Amino acid sequence: MTFSSLGSKLAMRLTAYANDPDYNVTVRIVRGFPVDVVRNNICEIFLKSECEYLLMIDDDMVPSANLLDMAGHEKDVIGGLYYAFLPARGIFNPAYRLLEEGRMERFDIGSRIEHRGLKAVDLIWPPAV
């Protein structure tokens, strides 16, 4: 592992994940553009590996300490709560439910205590502008 251009908080968190006693974590730093090509390369590396879970963390994120707990939910796809920003909409959570006839409805996860925990959504991004 090398953390040359990563933020110090993210580098410390990745080191903690790599030393987690409950999971055998492999950390790979992959750089490049365009981002979609890099993400596809990461998926190809994952599919050729013996790993059971794939977690992508961007270098502008500082994930929570309990991020590996998501693996315990035994879901095919799971993601953390995050927010997006668009000048026309401001800050929002880009989680959506699919409605009939291909329409989408934004799922308001919010930050209130009753909204904590695992929530089923149909897609994360793209936002309905």
Do 97 and 60 have their domain in common? no
Mean pLDDT of the chain: 77
38-44: which pairs have CB atoms within 8 A and are 24 or more residues apart?
none
- Tens of pLDDT, residues 44-90: 999 999 888 888 877 776 677 677 887 788 888 777 777 778 888 78
Do 43 and 63 have their domain in common? yes
Do 11 and 47 have their domain in common? yes
Please tell me the pTM assigned to this model: 0.63
In this prediction, residue 2 carries a pLDDT of: 45
Model confidence at 122: pLDDT above 90: no
Question: Which spans in the chain are helix H?
Answer: 8-18, 35-48
Do 64 and 96 have their domain in common? no
Model confidence at 16: pLDDT above 80: yes
Do 54 and 91 have their domain in common? no
Do 99 and 46 have their domain in common? no
Among 28, 48, 73, which residue terminates a domain?
73
Do 7 and 49 have their domain in common? yes
Confidence of residue 1 (pLDDT cuts 50, 70, 90): very low
Do 19 and 67 have their domain in common? yes
Find all residues with CB under 8 Å of 122, minimum gap 6, and list them: 96, 97, 98, 104
Backbone phi and psi for residue 107, each to the nearest 5 degrees, phi listed first: -95, 110
CB atoms within 10 A of CB 125: 9
Do 90 and 56 have their domain in common? no
Do 19 and 46 have their domain in common? yes
Q: Which of 109, 108, 106 is nearest to 127 (CA)?
A: 106
6: domain range? Answer: 1-73
Do 3 and 51 have their domain in common? yes
In this prediction, residue 43 carries a pLDDT of: 92
Number of domains into which the chain is organized: 2
Do 61 and 115 have their domain in common? no
